[in-house]
Amino acid sequence: MMWRVHSQGRLYDAGEDTVVYFDPYSGDTHLLSDFAGYVMQQFDNRPLSTEDLVLRLSRAIDSADIPDLEEALTSVLEELVLLDILKQD
């Protein structure tokens, strides 16, 4: 399954457990978890598969958390689709 962003948005670190994401495609601003913000940073104007994202994220995730990574990622991707930030191909 492939995922892509509608447009390259801007992330602003709120300095807490959340980041602010401005989506120029919709003009909306969203408050995202740090993890969701980190997922968004993985996109570089090209679609990525779930497997590509798991591979990229697993490099920065504590090894104890890797077994739960795909489930957490799937949940975040679905939420980002509902927010109209990501599109599923």
Query: How confident is the model at residue 63, as a pLDDT?
Result: 66
pLDDT in tens, 35-71: 999 999 898 878 999 999 999 998 887 766 667 888 8
Query: How confident is the model at residue 7, as a pLDDT?
Result: 66
CATH number, domain containing residue 58: 3.90.930.60
Structural domain count of the chain: 1
Query: Which DSSP string do the residues of 25-47 spell out, in sequence order?
Result: TTTEEEEEEHHHHHHHHT--SS-
Residue 45, domain extent: 2-88
